């Protein structure tokens, strides 16, 4: 039974609220807290924590000695004592496990709310102020939902394997386990200093064998179902890093980390058959509440298209057909008559059979150059098209024409068939290539707007087919629309055996192996005598990563694990035959694909997740993280989830019901002045080529705003360049949250990050801007606690009074409750803060502040500024945390605007107006008029003959004329 001694006019969400008591109350929290059983030991255990555990966990009593043991008041002039409040409540939350979500004894009859932050990677740099943006948003939601009576799952863990830790280990000679644990400890300390209500009992890390045992188990399930296989595929190989890199990790031919050269070369790799789930990954996007831009990115990445595979016979030097065909994939078979050349990828398997002797040297150089580019670079639309003629021709099956075969890197061997029919009149890339190499351009699709065909550009759209009939081949499609012509070409090709209908995808199978040490071992062995691949038995999991002193690249292309000779050489458990372990490891993506499931059941040693717990907690209700993970992480996680759904491990088709991408926080605006070649200052708008001029950093105090521009104070004619950049060490614009917390407190940082603007928008940091919310918190503190004493300290009590609130106060409060509730539910946190600021401004005009109103406001504030709210709640006389107090609910009766403007007449002449309630009586209206500054001069000392009152319309006061003051009328 939840109790409250707030005013009976304050409605709460809990249906069990008792309104009978006006004394401080105690709450038996809904979650009894058994002592957690320790999990099995781990060679990579993060750390042991010493916790003081009590049976009243979430409903802890405030330690009465806290206030007695406060440090002396510092001389720093602070708006309120956050330096005492925040460590105190963080300590209490931690000691009493306030935000622990019970594991085995949770009441599943209550509604659940699973809110999750994207798995952070614990880098050595620690947090900057951009990181807490999403974390603060999820914490507000988590606190809000707890107070609404939900069982809330709000965990935190670490995506701790990966290349950055391994590279740092190689550079410093420190084992990556040690640096990773150090970084995790730092991140944990910073997150706790911000007061986030994570359930730290559920903390997990991908480097713990108890965790990656189940990552390996998932791999074995994929292998059983033919979804994991080995293949020789072209990869981005970085010799310096000694590993394969994903396309996204290669920029301009060098590794993103370290800037090392990267080449393309074929290697034996483990692949996951994500393409088998392409259609389901597409179709199920319609059922989830994700940003449309993210769903569209996934659709484009999957890239489903319908078209045809067509065969082009290769010709010999005499123009005769060879027993060899190039198969092309096209989504526009209607344009086949416009094909004037073919293009094959540099890695096409038939290329060596196509290249003439004269062209072989040129071809070798070109293939080598292409191998140094990533797929993203090769397919960039803006890049200049390059290619080499093979010296060979093919026959166009539609008209028998001999057309040249070229090699160009804008065609990828991994997409379609690795070859295209080039139609330069109707494809912009083909058009640019044809112009550069003087290849014919033939129009075969006439747009409905004929002026387009005269524009000198390619026309990729649909229209009416022209120049597309041949009596010898029997294909005639002139006059048909594009769609009808495409179908006719496919039918013709299938009948003649030169092609077939085909659905294709841009999506490629997931390259799953890495030549690294710091990753999950792949649980397979290879029999030495036959090379047969043998999966480990599930009872042999986890296959633990061996300890290595030397984890640098081998220099031979072999992964670092090849150095663990005693680990690599093993025997097959069933046959006893000698075998060799797989020495590649899994990519960093592996551990982050399914971690959200482990949070539901973190200590289960018998199965990945308990089915009952998964059915209760799944799917994740809100998943918050950066837009940079919009495709790969989310796509990979969806793929694994669907596999787990198929084998009965999970009960939902999708892992994340709602995804929110928070914006980024840019560094503070930097002001730059331009100088010409002679060193003279020039206005930024006087040149369009700022890079030709020297830019000079200008300090903010020398800058002023003029209209929409920033100019020099001493010379307003000089307009400056004002830019904000993403925070990075190289730009020197990183703001450490520790410094902000030290000066303004964690609640101010939380509040400011939410107040900067909409959660999903990018925003610019301003240290000056945080002072505004800091002042708001200071005013809140003084309104409730009172002004500081002469020594700078504050009373332990509040200045609230045990009186009934007025109608005006209730109306003001309930409007604030309604707005804050609506804005939190809509994740519009900035406008929720604005509503509380408006309430505070109104409250400062009141003579007295009823306790019931103050308590409700403190509860509204608590998701945003939890440290201050807990302290104020304590000073209001409560002995328990407010974490599970019912969140105030607005009473609709107080949301109606029943105030009207009533005209007041004196002897029939309107002299002013007063504001009254719609139900205001004549006596109350006259009393208000008598106190009105403007009207009182007509009424003071006068004898009233009669009053004429029409409720809601008018008040007319008729005075005794013999007593009317001279000069007044």
Q: Residue 723 has what pLDDT? A: 79
Q: Report pLDDT for 39.
A: 39
Looking at residue 544, its pLDDT comes to 97
DSSP codes joined into one string, 289-329: B--HHHHHHHHHHH--EEEEEEEEEEE-TTSPEEEEEEEEE
Residues 40 and 605: beta-carbon distance below 8 Å:
yes
The pLDDT value given to residue 46: 39
In sequence order, what are the beta bridge partners of 682? 674
Looking at the DSSP bridge assignments, the partners of residue 309 are 329, 500
pLDDT digits (tens, 9 = 90+) for 52-90: 333 344 444 444 444 444 444 443 568 899 999 999 999
The confidence score (pLDDT) of residue 55 equals: 35
> CB of 233 within 8 A of CB of 266?
yes
DSSP line for 242-257: TEEE-GGGEETTEETT
170 or 420, higher pLDDT: 420
User: How far is Cα 607 from Cα 614, in angstroms, rounded to an integer?
Assistant: 12
pLDDT digits (tens, 9 = 90+) for 857-898: 999 999 999 999 999 999 999 999 999 999 999 998 888 777
Task: Give the span between the Cα atoms of 4 and 9, in whole angstroms.
Answer: 12
Is the CA virtual torsion 554, 556, 557, 561 positive or negative? negative
Please identify which residue in the block is written with the tokens 């129009």: 443
Write the pLDDT tens digit of every residue in 242-257. 777 766 678 777 887 7
Instruction: Calculate mean pLDDT across residues 602-608.
Output: 96
Q: Confidence band (pLDDT; 50, 70, 90) for 307? A: very high
pLDDT of residue 453: 65
Higher model confidence: residue 464 or residue 681?
464
Mean pLDDT calculated for residue range 478-493: 97
Rounded Cα–Cα distance for residues 554 and 517 (Å):
11
Reply yes or no on whether the pLDDT at 42 is more than 90: no
Q: ω before 596 within 30° of 0 (cis)?
A: no
Q: Which of 36-45, 251-260, 658-667 has the lowest mean pLDDT?
A: 36-45
Q: Of the segments 607-616, 803-812, 908-917, which one has the largest average pLDDT value?
A: 607-616
**Distance of CA 844 to CAs 310, 838, 854, Å?**
78, 10, 12
Residues in the chain, total: 969
Instruction: Decide which of 418 and 6 is more confident.
Output: 418
pLDDT at residue 25 greater than cutoff 50: no
Taking all residues of the chain, what is their mean pLDDT, rounded to a whole number? 86
Q: Name the DSSP letter for residue 627.
A: G
Confidence of residue 682 (pLDDT cuts 50, 70, 90): confident
Cα dist. 578→75, 527, 531, 568, 582 in Å? 73, 6, 11, 11, 14
* Average pLDDT estimate for 888-909: 88
pLDDT at 686 over 60: no
Q: pTM of this prediction?
A: 0.80
* pLDDT surpasses 70 at 36: no
- 433-437, long-range: CB < 8 A, 24+ apart: 433/343, 433/385, 433/387, 433/406, 433/408, 434/340, 434/341, 436/384, 436/385, 437/387, 437/389, 437/406
Residue 969 has pLDDT above 80, yes or no: no
For residue range 758-806, what is the model confidence (pLDDT) as tens digits? Answer: 999 988 888 888 999 999 999 999 999 998 887 778 888 899 999 999 8
For residue 555, is pLDDT > 90?
no
Per-residue pLDDT, 730: 65
Q: What is the mean pLDDT of residues 702-707?
A: 84
What secondary structure does DSSP assign to 11-55, as a single string?
EES-TT-B-S--S------S---PPPPPPPP-TT----------T
Alpha helices in 122-203 (DSSP H): 132-147, 163-172, 176-193
Torsions phi, psi for 694 (to 5 deg): -75, 130
Is pLDDT larger for residue 453 or for residue 740? 740
- For the chain, counts of helices (H) and of strands (E): 27, 41
pLDDT higher than 90, residue 164 = no
- The DSSP H or E segment spanning 635 is helix 632-646
Q: What is the CA radius of gyration of the chain?
A: 36
Mean pLDDT of 351-372: 88
- Specify the higher pLDDT residue, 353 or 448: 353
């Amino acid at each position: 039974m939840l109790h409250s001694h707030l005013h009976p006019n304050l409605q709460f969400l809990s249906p069990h609220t008792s309104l009978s008591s006006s004394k401080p109350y105690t709450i038996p929290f809904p979650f009894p807290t058994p002592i957690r059983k320790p999990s099995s030991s781990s060679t990579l255990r993060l750390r042991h924590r010493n916790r003081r555990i009590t049976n009243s966990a979430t409903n802890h009593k405030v330690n009465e000695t806290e206030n007695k043991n406060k440090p002396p008041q510092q001389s720093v002039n602070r708006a309120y004592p956050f330096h005492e409040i925040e460590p105190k409540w963080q300590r209490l939350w931690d000691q009493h496990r306030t935000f622990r979500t019970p594991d085995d004894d949770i009441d599943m009859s209550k509604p659940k709310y699973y809110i999750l932050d994207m798995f952070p990677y614990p880098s050595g740099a620690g947090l900057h102020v951009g990181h807490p943006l999403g974390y603060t948003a999820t914490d507000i939601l988590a606190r809000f939902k707890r107070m609404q009576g939900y069982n809330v799952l709000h965990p935190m863990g670490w995506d701790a394997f990966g290349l950055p830790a391994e590279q740092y280990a190689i550079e410093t000679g420190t084992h990556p386990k040690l640096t990773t644990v150090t970084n995790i400890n730092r991140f944990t300390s910073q997150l706790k200093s911000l007061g986030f209500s994570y359930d730290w009992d559920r903390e997990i890390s991908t480097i713990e064998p108890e965790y990656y045992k189940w990552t390996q188990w998932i791999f074995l399930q994929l292998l059983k179902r033919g979804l994991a296989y080995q293949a020789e595929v072209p990869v981005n190989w970085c010799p310096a890093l000694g590993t394969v890199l994903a396309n996204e990790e290669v920029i301009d031919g060098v590794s993103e980390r370290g800037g090392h050269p990267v080449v393309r070369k074929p290697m034996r790799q483990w692949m996951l058959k994500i393409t088998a789930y392409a259609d389901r990954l597409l179709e199920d996007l319609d059922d989830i509440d994700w940003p449309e831009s993210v769903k569209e990115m996934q659709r484009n990445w999957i890239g489903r298209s319908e078209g045809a595979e067509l065969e082009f016979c290769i010709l010999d030097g005499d123009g005769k057909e060879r027993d060899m065909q190039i198969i092309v994939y096209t989504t526009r078979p209607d344009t086949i008559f416009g094909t004037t050349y073919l293009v094959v990828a540099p890695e096409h398997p038939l290329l060596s059979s196509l290249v003439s002797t004269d062209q072989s040297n040129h071809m070798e150089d070109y293939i080598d150059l292409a191998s140094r580019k990533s797929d993203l670079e090769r397919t960039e639309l803006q890049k200049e098209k390059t290619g080499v003629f093979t010296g060979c021709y093919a026959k166009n099956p539609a008209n028998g024409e001999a057309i040249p075969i070229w090699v160009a890197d804008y065609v990828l061997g991994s997409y379609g068939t690795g070859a295209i029919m080039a139609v330069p009149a109707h494809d912009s890339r083909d058009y640019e290539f044809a112009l550069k190499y003087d290849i014919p351009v033939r129009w075969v699709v006439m747009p409905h707007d004929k002026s387009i065909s005269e524009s000198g550009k390619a026309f990729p759209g649909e229209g009416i087919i022209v120049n597309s009939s041949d009596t010898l081949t029997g294909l005639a499609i002139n006059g048909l629309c594009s769609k009808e012509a495409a179908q006719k070409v496919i039918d013709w090709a299938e009948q003649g055996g030169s092609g077939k209908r085909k659905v294709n995808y841009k999506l490629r199978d997931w390259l799953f192996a890495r030549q690294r040490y710091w990753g999950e071992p792949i649980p397979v062995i290879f029999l030495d005598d036959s090379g047969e691949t043998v999966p480990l038995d599930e009872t042999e999991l986890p296959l633990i990563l061996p300890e290595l002193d030397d984890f640098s690249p081998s220099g031979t292309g072999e992964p670092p694990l090849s150095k663990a000779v005693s680990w690599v050489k093993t025997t097959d458990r069933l046959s006893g035959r000698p075998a060799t372990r797989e020495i590649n490891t899994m990519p960093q993506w592996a551990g982050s694909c399914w971690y959200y499931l482990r949070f539901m059941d973190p200590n289960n040693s018998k199965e990945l997740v308990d089915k009952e717990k998964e059915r209760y907690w799944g799917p994740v209700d809100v998943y918050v993280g950066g837009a940079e993970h919009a495709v790969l992480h989310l796509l990979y996680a969806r793929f694994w989830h669907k596999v787990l759904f198929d084998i009965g491990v999970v009960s939902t088709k999708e892992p994340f019901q709602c995804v929110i991408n928070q914006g980024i926080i840019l560094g503070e605006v930097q002001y730059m002045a331009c100088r010409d070649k002679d060193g003279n200052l020039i206005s930024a708008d006087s040149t369009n080529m700022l890079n030709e001029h020297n830019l000079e950093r200008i300090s903010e105090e020398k800058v002023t705003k003029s209209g929409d521009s920033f100019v020099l104070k001493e010379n307003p004619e000089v307009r400056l360049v004002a830019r904000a950049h993403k925070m990075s060490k190289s730009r020197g614009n990183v703001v450490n949250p520790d410094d902000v917390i030290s000066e303004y407190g964690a609640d101010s940082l939380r509040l400011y990050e939410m107040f900067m603007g909409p959660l999903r928008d990018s925003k610019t940091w301003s240290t000056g801007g945080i002072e505004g919310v800091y002042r708001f918190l200071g005013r809140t503190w003084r309104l409730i606690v009172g002004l500081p004493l002469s020594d700078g300290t504050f009373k332990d009590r509040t200045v609230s009074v045990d009186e009934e609130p007025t109608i005006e106060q209730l109306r003001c409060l309930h409007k604030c409750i309604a707005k804050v509730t609506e804005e939190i539910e809509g994740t519009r946190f900035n406008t929720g803060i604005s509503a509380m600021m408006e309430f505070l401004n109104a409250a400062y005009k009141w003579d007295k502040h009823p306790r019931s109103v103050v308590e409700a406001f403190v509860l509204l504030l608590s998701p945003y500024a939890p440290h201050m709210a807990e302290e104020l709640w304590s000073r209001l006389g409560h002995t328990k945390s407010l974490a599970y107090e019912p969140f105030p609910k607005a009473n609709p009766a107080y949301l109606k605007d029943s105030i009207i403007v009533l005209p007041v007449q004196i002897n029939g002449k309107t002299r002013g107006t007063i504001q009254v309630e719609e139900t205001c009586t004549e006596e109350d209206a006259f009393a208000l008029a008598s106190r009105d500054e403007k009207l009182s001069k007509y009424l003071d000392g006068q004898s009233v003959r009669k009053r004429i009152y029409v409720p809601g319309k008018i008040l007319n006061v008729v005075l005794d004329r013999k007593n009317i003051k001279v000069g007044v009328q």
